Amino acid sequence: MKYLFGPVPSRRLGISLGIDLVPFKTCTYDCVYCECGKTTNKTIRRKEFFPYRNLIRELNSFLKVKPKLDYITFSGSGEPTLSSIIGKIIVYLKMKYPQYKIAVLTNGSLLYREQVRKDLAQADIVIPSIDSVTLKTFKKINKPHSKLNLKKIIDGLIEFRKMFKGQLWIEIFIIKGINDSRKEILKIKELLDKLKPEKIQLNTLDRPGTEAWVKQVSKKELLKIKKMIPGSEIIAKFKDKDKYFREHSTSIDKLILSAISRRPMTIKDLNIILNIKIAELQKYIRILLDQKRIVTKKEKRGIFFEIRRQYNRKY
């Protein structure tokens, strides 16, 4: 499959079929915690990166057997709202496959545009991220495109909330010493009070991000922040991750383990060697990390994955 990945077990959305509408690391931001590495195409120009016809053909060929899915999710390794055909695809899916719920993972930076708001209006869940509402911190964490304006982004989110009938979940990524202060959190809370999202999810680093200086906040610190934002939740790992993994494991995890048992590799190396989409690899790598079967190490060329020593002989 060229544009679809999975279905993969997702932390928040159960069994999710992913759709990647933009090329690798085509994004409006270059977040310091991004698991996919540095943004290689920072842009705010929307376009049809992949032909609509091809995407629909791939979707139809996958969905015709009525697979069991919790969600069809627009995500991947870039910002999905940069695709000018996201709205058309959501409408098509809703008409042809009404049994499936649609989720969109977005950084929310383009919601100031009316057309983007209209495009996402048909989704069941939209999950924008908000890491800071103070300009200096926003720039430090998200490294936005130079033409983006924080006030406009915030106004766009508020406008979207007013017209969106589905569920709005907000994700906040907390970085130690950057956006974890009382002042930062209270400012985010002010915005959340206006947005009234159905869910507020607190996240932090659980494996190396793009920048080495990015530090995780402890569970204790996250719990403190949770108290400051009533109704928020710390994004939990899989409830029974081993059972989940057994049920949904495919040969992909074995391919990854076998490849990195020979030498440590980056996600890009695995993508080239195994010819598996990065977004799909990410999900399996996350599970293998959760299971402590593999570990990471940061080198000049990026983040490398290798087998944890006690498992080494098995692959």
Options 7, 18, 30, 214; binder of ligand SF4; rule CB under 6 A:
30
Which of the stretches 34-42, 183-191, 237-245, 263-271 binds ligand SF4 when contact is defined by CB under 6 A?
34-42
From 22-30, 159-167, 182-190, 227-235, span contacting ligand SF4 (CB under 6 A): 22-30
Token pair belonging to 281: 């690899």
Q: Which SS3 state, helix, strand or coil, does residue 108 take?
A: coil
The whole-angstrom separation of Cα 205 and Cα 185 is: 17
DSSP characters for 113-143?
A: SHHHHHHHTT-SEEEEB---SSHHHHHHHH-
**Bridging pattern class, strands 294-299 and 302-307:** antiparallel
Residues of span 144-173 touching ligand SF4 by CB under 6 A: none
Least Cβ distance, residue 107 to ligand SF4 (angstroms): 4
| Shortest reach from residue 8's CB to ligand SF4, in Å | 17
Pick one of 79, 171, 180, 290: the residue that binds ligand SF4 (CB under 6 A): 79
* One residue of 34, 55, 148, 287 binding ligand SF4 per CB under 6 A: 34
Residue 110 binds to ligand SF4 (criterion: CB under 6 A) = no
Contact present, 209 and 35 (Cβ < 8 Å) = yes
What is the DSSP secondary-structure string of 145-183? Answer: -TT--HHHHHHHHHHHHHH--SEEEEEEEE-TTTS-SHH
Question: Is the backbone peptide bond immediately before 264 cis, with ω within 30 degrees of 0?
Answer: no
Residue 281 touches ligand SF4, criterion: CB under 6 A: no
Least distance to ligand SF4 from the beta carbon of 294, Å? Answer: 21
> Shortest gap between Cβ of 220 and ligand SF4 (angstroms)?
25
| 3-state class percentages of the chain: helix first, strand second, coil last, to nearest 5 | 40, 20, 40
Q: By C-beta, is 27 or 116 nearer to ligand SF4?
A: 27
Member of 17, 21, 36, 172 binding ligand SF4 (CB under 6 A):
36
Interface region with ligand SF4, contact rule CB under 6 A, candidates 31-39, 57-65, 66-74, 225-233 = 31-39
Tokens 């899915």 locate to 69
Helix (H, G, I), strand (E, B) or coil at 237: coil
Footprint of ligand SF4 on this chain (CB under 6 A)? 27, 29-31, 34, 36, 39, 78-79, 107
